[in-house]
Amino acid sequence: MSTATPDPMEFLVQYRLGPSTGPGTRRLLDRSKELFTKVQQNPHEVVAELMRAETLRDHAQLAAAKSKEAAEGIHQLLHNMVNGNAEACRCDGIIETAAGVRAICRQGERIRELSVHPDVSLDQLRTIQPWEYVRVHENVVVGVRVDDPTLLESSLGEIVTFQGYAGSSSLARVTRLGNTEEIVRLASSISQQTIPPHAKLVLMRDNPRWAIACLPSQPSTSRFEVPIDSIRDRLSNLAGVEPLAEKLLLEVVKRILQPEIREMFNLDPLRGMLLCSEKPGMGKTAFMRAFAGTLHDIGQYRDFDVVLYLVKPNEFKSMWHGEDARIVREELFGAIRARRELPRSRAMIQLVVMDEIDSLGRRPEGRDAVVSSAQSDALETFLVEMDGMVQEVAVDPPAHLLVVGMTNRPERIDDAIKRPGRLGDEVIEIPDLDMAGAEQVCLVYARAARLPWLLDDVVSHGVTHDEIVRRFLRPAVRAVFNAVILRYMNDTQKKFEVTAGQVLAAVHYRKAMNVAKNRAANRRLRGVGVQAIAYEDVVEGLLDTALSVAHQMQSDPHMLVRHLKIKIPVVRVDAVSRDELQDHHFVRSLN
């Protein structure tokens, strides 16, 4: 079956096979007529011709792909050859010249101006960091090596302290060990940051004129630091410490917080103090905790902060050689220095309280023997660190250090510790309690509002403090305070009497009040007798406590000698019997 031959021009336009006008149009028209004629005469030949054309096209495309792959391989080979022979250099920047962009490259102390290959990104060259590299081949920068964390890690060097900017955000003043101040350049990766005062910067290992990293600030931690907010005691809660508290607060304000007064009167700074008591249990630790809490309260309106470090007895001890000194150097004074370097907006007092500082021991003198080399190392390290802290340069806001040592055995403390400038700026002795002080200490442990008291044979709650003192504590303390509880004899057989008031400390009055409360609580538990605290309970509590101390001193005469500072030889100590004490004229007169 034959079909009509279509119009070639309409065919070309309809199927968009070529231009409708122009020199190529005639050739397309002739070719289309020829094909239409072949289709009418022999369609199978046309189909075969089309299939051969498609096969040739596929072969041509495959050959083109192989040629492209070969070209890329040759290009990569040439690239690897160039890079394999390239030198690694650091780039300090780029400049624009008449000959084009040039890179300023450095190898050690040698500086070269090199051309840049067109394939190298100029943006990368402009932002390249000091620890990153460019590749140079035949005096041409042919590549860069950036965004590689290992380059930064391998370039980290000395750690220094940031003191401030030196005229611009790209230059910084830093201090090295020994407080030597220098100017360094800041890498662009950190120059855009806001660097806090006393932050730690890392210098480049092989070019320390560059600071290439800023260490994140970390809160100072120390096992000796006590959160100041956890201190609930205040000096106002203690009894019998008013003169001592007033003196200590006055010295802190005058010689630490107001340097203008100190300088006006040419006073020495207050660096350290010794708080002594021959008699244990006088409340030195409680006093210092309350002092820290009160100082914190004052700082809230005087615009300073308080950081408390509490070192308990023998916390510097270790079974490992050299560890004692390390604890002193790093875990105490290292933490103090780290805290000073943290950013702050207010002045700061770092209060170090060392309980039983005599546990540090003494250095050998003459024929003395050192208890252990570790103990001597800890002591020597403590002395060195105290001197080092004194010599540190003041900063703004200032940081003050006050070290307070507490002891019941001042004769065991090394003389170097007791020097002015260390802990000898103030040596304060806790005074013995008189009868009025003993009453106030007892009141501290007897003023709970819910305690029941026996007043005129009536159980009463909510008794006022004045009434408790007047009706119970004052007469009971007076009944026992001057009662003789033991006698001792010297080597000449001379006898001496010791009263309860001479040996009872604050901790003993606390125990006496607990005895009184326990006696009343036991009666209530059993449902017998008066179920409230009676005057007799307070007297019995004081007598029991005094007798307990007397028997301890009878079994350990050195305890008596230490507490009373007895200078004569003591050959015998006898505690007074309970019957004799009950019949003592001071007790009997008030019963």
As a whole number of angstroms, the distance between CA 174 and CA 184 comes to: 7
Is residue 170 located within the same domain as residue 294? Answer: no
C-alpha–C-alpha distance, residues 349 and 249, integer Å: 13
Asked if residue 36 has pLDDT above 50, the reply is: yes
Lowest mean pLDDT segment, chosen from 33-47, 236-250, 272-286, 479-493: 33-47
Task: Say if residue 230 is in the same domain as residue 368.
Answer: yes
Question: What's 134's domain CATH number?
Answer: 2.30.30.140
Report whether pLDDT(74) > 60.
no
How much of the chain, in percent, has pLDDT values that exceed 90? 25
Closest to 332 (Cα-Cα) out of 287, 289, 388, 277: 388
Domain match, 370 and 467 both: no
Determine the structural domain holding residue 481 and report its residue range: 435-589
Q: Look at residue 66 in the predicted model and tell me its pLDDT.
A: 74
Backbone angles phi, psi at 394, to 5 degrees: -65, 145
Reported as half-sphere exposure (CB side, CA atoms, 13 A), residue 532 has a value of: 18
Q: Could you tell me if residue 67 is inside a domain? A: no
Q: Are 135 and 161 in the same domain?
A: no
pLDDT for residue 81: 47
Q: Mean of the pLDDT values across residues 31-53?
A: 75
Please indicate, yes or no, if residue 127 is contained in any of the structural domains: yes
DSSP H or E run through 242? helix 242-252
Residues 242 and 176 in one domain: no
Query: Scanning the structure block, which residue is given the tokens 């009868």?
Result: 435
pLDDT band at 96 (very low <50, low <70, confident <90, very high): confident
The domain boundary, picked from 161, 184, 214, lies at 214
**pLDDT given at position 533:** 94
Is 445 in the same domain as 580? Answer: yes
What is the percent of the chain with per-residue pLDDT over 70, rounded to a whole number? 86
Q: Is residue 30 part of a domain?
A: no
Q: What's the confidence (pLDDT) of residue 580?
A: 79
| CATH number reported for the structural domain that contains residue 156 in this entry | 2.40.50.140
DSSP labels for 93-162? EEEEETTEEEEEEEETTEEEEEEE-TTS-HHHHHH--TT-EEEEETTEEEEEE-S-HHHHHHHEEEEEEE
Residue at 192 is within a domain: yes
Six-digit token string for 351:
């209060």
Residue where a domain terminates, one of 98, 114, 147: 147
Q: What's the confidence (pLDDT) of residue 11?
A: 66
Poorest-pLDDT segment among 6-20, 224-238, 293-307, 509-523: 6-20
**Is the pLDDT reported for residue 350 higher than 90?**
yes
Tell me, what CATH number does 284's domain have?
3.40.50.300
Check residue 324 and give its pLDDT: 85
The last residue of a domain, from among 147, 168, 198: 147
Asked if residue 241 and residue 193 are part of one domain, the reply reads no
Confidence of residue 474 (pLDDT cuts 50, 70, 90): very high
* Cβ-based neighbour number of residue 567 at 10 Å: 6
With CA atoms as reference, report the closest residue to 358 among 430, 289, 276, 284.
276
Residues 523 and 546 in one domain: yes
pLDDT in tens, 410-467: 888 888 898 888 898 888 888 888 999 999 999 999 988 889 999 988 999 989 999 9
Query: Same domain for 120 and 238?
Result: no
Asked if residue 417 is part of any domain, the answer here is yes
pTM of the model: 0.61
pLDDT band at 331 (very low <50, low <70, confident <90, very high): confident
Q: What is the pLDDT of residue 73?
A: 60
What does the pLDDT average to over 288-314? 90
Pair (166, 269) in one structural domain: no
Task: Find the mean pLDDT for residues 200-217.
Answer: 85
pLDDT of residue 317: 78
Rounded to a whole number of angstroms, the CA Rg of the chain reads: 46
Q: Round to whole Å and give the CA distance between 331 and 403.
A: 15
Please determine, for residue 549, whether its predicted confidence score (pLDDT) is greater than 70.
yes
With cut-offs at 50, 70 and 90, classify the pLDDT of residue 370.
Answer: very low
| Mean pLDDT (the chain, rounded) | 83
Domain count of the fold of the chain: 4
Instruction: Band the pLDDT of 75: cuts 50, 70, 90.
Output: low
Q: Are residues 99 and 137 in the same domain?
A: yes
> Is 22 among the domain residues?
no
- For 121-164, the pLDDT digits (tens) are 888 888 888 888 888 888 888 888 877 788 888 888 888 888 88
Closest by CA to 179, choosing from 192, 163, 191, is 163
pLDDT class for 587, splitting at 50, 70, 90? low
In a domain, 5, yes or no: no
Q: Is 55 within the bounds of a domain?
A: no
Shared-domain flag, residues 280 and 411: yes
CA distance 278 to 562: 6
